[in-house]
Amino acid sequence: MTDKPAHIPIRLGGQLLNLILVALGIAAAYFMTIQSLKLELAAKAESAVVETLDKKLSSFEVFLKEGVVSREQFYQFSRQIEARLTRIEHHLIEQTGEKLGKR
């Protein structure tokens, strides 16, 4: 009879440990799913930005062919687009760094 009380806490401890591990596994799966969804959304947003810029550049090329925009205006626009892309790139790098730092 004295052996049974000693085994019961060990069983309860083992079951409690299993329950905690299952809960941690579920939490990890949840956060990994959320993180992967965020990455997919970021990739889609990034491709949408690239597509929008491509459309704008295409329409700008049409204006150039029609002679509506001067060469200096085109170079100014080109520098502005390059500056915007650089800011976007730095923003994405900072966000990635913040996410890596939080882990």
Q: Are 49 and 88 in contact (CB under 8 A)?
A: yes
Other beta carbons less than 10 A from residue 23's beta carbon = 10
Distance CA 61, CA 69 (A): 9
Please give the backbone phi and psi of residue 62, each rounded to the nearest 5 degrees, phi first: -65, -45
pLDDT at 49: 76
| Per-domain boundaries in the chain | 3-102
pLDDT of the residue at 86: 86
pLDDT digits (tens, 9 = 90+) for 74-102: 788 888 888 888 888 888 888 776 665 55
Counting every residue written for the chain, the total comes to: 103
How big is the CA angle at 22 (ends 101 and 13), to the nearest 5 degrees? 115
| 19-48 per-position pLDDT tens digit | 888 888 888 888 888 888 877 777 777 777
